[in-house]
Amino acid sequence: MPSNHGQLMNDLIRGQRRQTPAGQQRADEIRGLYKQGLQQLRGQRNMHPDARRVEIAKLYATTRDALKKVQREQVDTDRETFAKLERQLWGYDDVRASAYTTEARAAVDGTVRDAQDRAAQLKKPEQAARALATAEQAGDQVLARAIAKRAHDMDWDGVLNDYLATRPTAADRYQQAADIYVRQHSHAGAFDRSFTGALAKPEELRDLSDDDVQAMADPGDAAA
């Protein structure tokens, strides 16, 4: 998906319509619980400082691992969701689902191939706009979708927006796909991914490496 494609994409890049991914929301919740736990441990005045440090190490290590897991899951979810949205937008599973016989499915496949071939012949956005208008007037949804896909591939923003303007479900799917694309391919997205898995080391552990913290949090694991 081109990074500058269409008004929807432009809005996302400017930050006007970017949505916070579920993984980032979950990471914020985990960090909030971590801060609460840290405050509680620091507030236990009857706890020996060494024991408190060990408990803080356990809390930090557990929270860090949880955030890394959320980060990985968000990447995997984005990849799977993007592929699904692309298929819903530009595939023809819904059209083929209406064909109940072998002959009907073959006819549908032929119609799809013909529409894709015709769309591929369009060389200019003006041609595509006229072809889309004609397909819409004729109620030819297969051809209209093929033309919209051609517009998507060629960065013909106006044509694509004309197609999405009358299809709120497709427009919503396109926005979701665009949002994921921005997260995957922009500097802002890379920053968000790194922030999702980031956790500042507490003052009590600043002089320790992550390996040292892990050894303090789980001595048995370090010994193994």
pLDDT averaged per 10 residues in sequence order, the chain, 224 residues: 45 49 88 95 94 95 93 92 96 90 92 97 98 97 97 96 96 94 83 82 92 88 51
CA distance 117 to 142: 12
At 15 the pLDDT is 42
Helix (H), strand (E) at residue 125? helix 125-138
CA torsion sign, 177 to 73 to 21 to 13? negative
In the block, tokens 């236990």 appear at: 44
pTM, two decimal places:
0.75
At 19 the pLDDT is 63
Contact call for residues 224 and 51 (beta carbons, < 8 A): no
Contact call for residues 177 and 171 (beta carbons, < 8 A): no
At 16 the pLDDT is 44
Dihedrals φ, ψ of 167, to 5°? -135, 80
In the block, tokens 């799917």 appear at: 173
At 18 the pLDDT is 55
Q: Where are the beta strands (DSSP E) in the chain?
A: none
At 98 the pLDDT is 85
CA distance 116 to 144: 10
Contact call for residues 205 and 56 (beta carbons, < 8 A): yes
